[in-house]
Amino acid sequence: MTDFNAQIIEEFRANEGVVGGHFEGKRLLLLHHIGRKSGQERVTPLVAAPDGDAFLICGSMGGAPADPVWVGNIEAGPGETTIEYGTETLRAATTVIRPDGEEWQRVYGIWAAYWPDAKEYETHTDRKFPIIRVVPVSTVD
């Protein structure tokens, strides 16, 4: 996965946030997060469904049985992180929405409608995927 992510990050940065292939026509963002155990900064490319002034990203990990590590990193963090979107680097507020209410149903519905692979991911697990609302708040100098 690391090599795959590295290629996507390189393409994202080389093409002003546009990635082709399987991601053609969809927007991605690069999520910066700090490892809970390592303390090291990580960068993860993720499909970003628009929701008003926010983006919705999903901890689906292709339908794996457990949440991806980055979800726990965001959840353990200060509620704010850095993202790259298009050509901008932004500070963003983050909120993890767990699958236990109407808000999750609404935001998961938006993300699943935006990313057609969601239905396939659901067939790989009984786990319901957390959604993270990412709200840009300022540019990074």
Q: Mean pLDDT over all residues of the chain?
A: 96
Structural domain span for residue 52: 2-139
| Local confidence band at 101 (pLDDT 50, 70, 90 cut-offs) | confident
CATH number of the domain at 37, please: 2.30.110.10
The total of structural domains in the chain comes to 1
126-136 average pLDDT score: 97
Residue 44, judged by CB atoms within 10 A of its CB (0-12, 13-18, 19+), counts as: buried
Task: Give 45-86 pLDDT, tens digit per residue.
Answer: 999 999 999 999 999 999 999 999 999 999 999 999 999 999
Q: What is the pTM of this model?
A: 0.95
Task: Give 22-49 pLDDT, tens digit per residue.
Answer: 999 999 999 999 999 999 999 999 999 9
pLDDT at 1 over 60: no
